[in-house]
Amino acid sequence: MSRRKFLKQSSCATLGLLTFPVYSSAFSFNDSKDVIVGHNSHKYKVNLNWGNLNPSQTPVNDCHEMVQDSKGRIVLLTNHVKNNVIIYDKSGKLIETWGTEYPGAHGLTLVKENGTDFLLITDYERHQIIKTTIDGKVVFTIDCPLETGKYNSKDEFKPTETTVVANGDIYVADGYGKQHIIHYNDKGELLNVFGGQGKADGQFLNAHGICYDDRDKKNPSLLVSARELNQLKRFDLKGQFIEKIDVPGALICRPVIHKKDLYFAVLRSKNALNPDSGFILIMNENNEVVSCPGATSPSYKNYKLKELYQTIRLFQHPHDVCIDDDENMYVAQWNSGRTYPIKLTRI
């Protein structure tokens, strides 16, 4: 079945598959009109054919994360070891591929140093972070931080994400391991560790993603997704807890900042019957949810966000988003039948 047929059939079946009310104003679908998803100022036209390649020549497994490089190219990370990194132009045309040694390729961060692009790849099966050039040459690796005393063996270290702050320091989220955030300098030398597994303010259940938030230039901070807690947590750069933001019903992946807004792929809806019940979530600079493509129209009662859930079967375990310089969004998906990313064109 083609992705377009899947969308048509699953959209028409939505009313029978979901047990929650459907906010049909968030999308439209028929044979002659485009599918439109989202709310308020963040609405998008769906393109299911973007980036489709010949799977026998350029296969994907899980499409984990995406970034846009300084040349405007879209860089996709997959854990298929025939081609871990696939580079497209914005139209979805294949430019190049590389990478055969990253079976647990999960997190992808673009690093810009003196006008040159580098990548940070987290590989939870290798228990490593690997810094590479944009064409795949290894610069250095970061291994399990046994010297912290937090780990008994390297197998306990299963990093999922990195972020890089203004001075080049690297923060690693051990989201599939012991839930620590480990702080390194730009050479990969250990500076600090904080967090850990738990439900307290400064702890995590699945510290899946992390990003550097410099929208407030006087008070830069770190945002970490505590996915199983349905929360986003903010810390200062020394690891001190600042605040938590509830996103009820949404198992959020890494936070992605574009201009003043904050974007997330939501892996699934917490209380949905179907496991592939994900959607996209967009917050403004005041931490208010303003749009949920593929899901409930965001609503607040007594200043608290009402529970969010999928309303159209468009996404299958969305895992990351990339926002390009034209405000379009690319959605990479985990466990989605080895499908290529979906493009959402801003309207």
Structure tokens at 295: 């899901």
For residue 267, what are the CA distances in angstroms to 249, 270, 307, 318?
11, 9, 15, 5
What is the full DSSP assignment across 145-189?
A: -GGGSS-SSGGG----EEEE-TTS-EEEE-TTTT-EEEEE-TTS-
pLDDT (tens digit, 0 to 9) for every residue of the chain, 347 residues total?
Answer: 455 454 444 443 433 334 333 333 333 344 446 899 999 999 999 999 999 999 999 999 999 999 999 999 999 999 999 999 999 999 999 999 999 999 999 999 999 999 999 999 999 999 999 999 999 999 999 999 999 999 999 999 999 999 999 999 999 999 999 999 999 999 999 999 999 999 999 999 999 999 999 999 999 999 999 999 999 999 999 999 999 999 999 999 999 999 999 999 999 998 888 889 999 999 999 999 999 999 999 999 999 999 999 999 999 999 999 999 999 999 999 999 999 999 999 99
Q: How far apart are the first and last CA of the chain?
A: 28
**In which region does residue 179 sit, left (phi positive, over 0), alpha (psi from -120 to 50) or beta (all else)?**
left
Report the SS3 class of residue 9. helix
Structural domain span for residue 226: 3-346
Q: Indicate yes or no: pTM above 0.75.
A: yes
What total number of domains does the chain contain? 1
CATH number of the domain to which 128 belongs: 2.120.10.30
CA nearest neighbour of 41 among 340, 260, 306, 305: 260
- Name the burial class of residue 23, with classes exposed (0-12), middle (13-18) and buried (19+) by CB atoms within 10 angstroms of its CB: middle
The DSSP code for 42 is E
Spacing of C-alpha 264 from chain mean position: 6
The DSSP code for 275 is S
